[in-house]
Amino acid sequence: MDRRAFIRNFPMGIMIGVATAHALKSIAWPSAYETLKKEPEGKKDPNEILKDIYKEVLEFGSKNKEGFIKKEFHVDLDSNETNSEEHIVVLIYNVRDREKMIVQVTYFETRGNITMKYAKDTKVISCFIKGEKIEIEKCDYDKKEIKSLLTDILKEIRYKKKLLKLIDRKK
């Protein structure tokens, strides 16, 4: 390519490059912005995560028009193969003018060479919910433990909901 043709075409190449970058930026920016704007579950306040758990479990609904909602999940919280799953129970029911949610976590252990698991510990988080306000009544966990625990529970609830939706589609 001759030097004059290069100098003449160089500004046009820059303008085309800038226009293309600008077009791609305007397309990609909204989705990237939404992703950045969304607060990661681990960074949320435990009260916010409890609200999310409440909303997710509430969507399951109650069985046979009972006055409460009870859902059970099995979650691997400690990544230990010998006691691979912890049992989570979420119970929501009305108390006067607000709702009470209880999250119970039962930890298991195996004894000896037996494959049967025994409950070694049970911890509870209980809270009252009225509208968007949440008040923790009792919590057996410290501040450091509760964030990661609630995040794992919320992930498992969402995963189970996703599986149930897939099963319903196949029917």
Q: Mind listing the pLDDT tens digit for each residue in 50-106?
A: 999 999 998 888 777 778 899 888 877 666 555 557 889 999 999 989 999 999 999
Residue by residue, DSSP assigns 80-103 as: -GGG--EEEEEEEEEETTEEEEEE
Residue 147 confidence (pLDDT):
87
Distance CA 49, CA 153 (A): 9
Q: Using 50, 70 and 90 to split pLDDT, how confident is the model at 170?
A: low
- Across the range 150-170, mean pLDDT stands at 82
Contact criterion met (CB below 8 Å) for 88 and 103: yes
- Across the range 121-145, mean pLDDT stands at 91
pLDDT tens sequence across 27-39:
655 555 555 555 5
3-state secondary structure at position 123: strand
Distance CA 88, CA 43 (A): 22
The one-letter code for the residue type at 135 is E
Report the candidate in 106, 136, 103, 135 with the shortest Cα–Cα distance to residue 119.
Answer: 106
Does this model's pTM top 0.75? no
What are the residue ranges spanned by the domains of the chain? 1-38, 41-170
Task: Label residue 56 exposed, middle or buried (CB < 10 Å: 0-12, 13-18, 19+).
Answer: middle
Distance CA 91, CA 62 (A): 10
Query: Would the pLDDT of 43 be above 90?
Result: no
Query: Would the pLDDT of 13 be above 60?
Result: yes
How many CB atoms sit inside 10 A of residue 60's CB?
16
Residue 4 confidence (pLDDT):
73
